[in-house]
């Protein structure tokens, strides 16, 4: 069965360190998204991609970067981790051919920056 997986599921890192969160999907979806979820804010879009070599900034992109070198993967990098980036991160993918396409989410990565 097709799926979308995130790794690691939990991560503790120190302020100032570079951290990369992995997202891998086997749906062959063109669209991939990274969200963060914080109490009181819901899910907020960090970066998204509509295909290989395409990346776009979301509403909370400062301090984050992504790259899309193949269809399956969209890794999220925190250039220099800050305590404000402590959050739960969700990756999602959807079929790019339909605006009504269902988005499938990974199980989330709980990141703590100390």
Partner 1 sequence: RKEVEQDPGPFNVPEGATVAFNCTYSNSASQSFFWYRQDCRKEPKLLMSVYSSGNEDGRFTAQLNRASQYISLLIRDSKLSDSATYLCVVITGTASKLTFGTGTRLQVTL
Q: Which residues bind partner 1 (CB under 8 A)?
A: 31, 33, 35, 40-45, 48, 50, 58, 90, 92, 94, 96, 99-103, 105-108
Q: In the bound complex, what is the minimum distance in angstroms from residue 16's beta carbon to partner 1?
A: 28
Q: Are 98 and 107 in contact (CB under 8 A)?
A: no
Q: Minimum distance from CB of 18 to partner 1 (Å)? A: 25
List C-alpha distances in Å: 35 to 87, 94, 95, 106: 10, 14, 17, 11
67 neighbors 73 (Cβ within 8 angstroms): no
Least CB distance to partner 1 at residue 72 (A): 18
């Amino acid at each position: 069965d097709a799926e979308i997986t995130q790794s690691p599921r939990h991560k503790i890192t120190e302020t100032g360190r570079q951290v990369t969160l992995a997202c891998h999907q086997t749906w062959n979806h063109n669209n991939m998204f990274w969200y963060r979820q914080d109490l009181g804010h819901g899910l907020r879009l960090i970066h998204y991609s509509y295909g290989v070599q395409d990346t776009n900034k979301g509403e909370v992109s400062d301090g984050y970067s992504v790259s899309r070198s193949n269809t399956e993967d969209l890794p999220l990098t925190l250039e220099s981790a800050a305590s404000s980036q402590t959050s739960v991160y969700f990756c999602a993918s959807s079929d790019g051919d339909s605006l009504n396409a269902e988005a499938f989410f990974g199980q989330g990565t709980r990141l703590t920056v100390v």
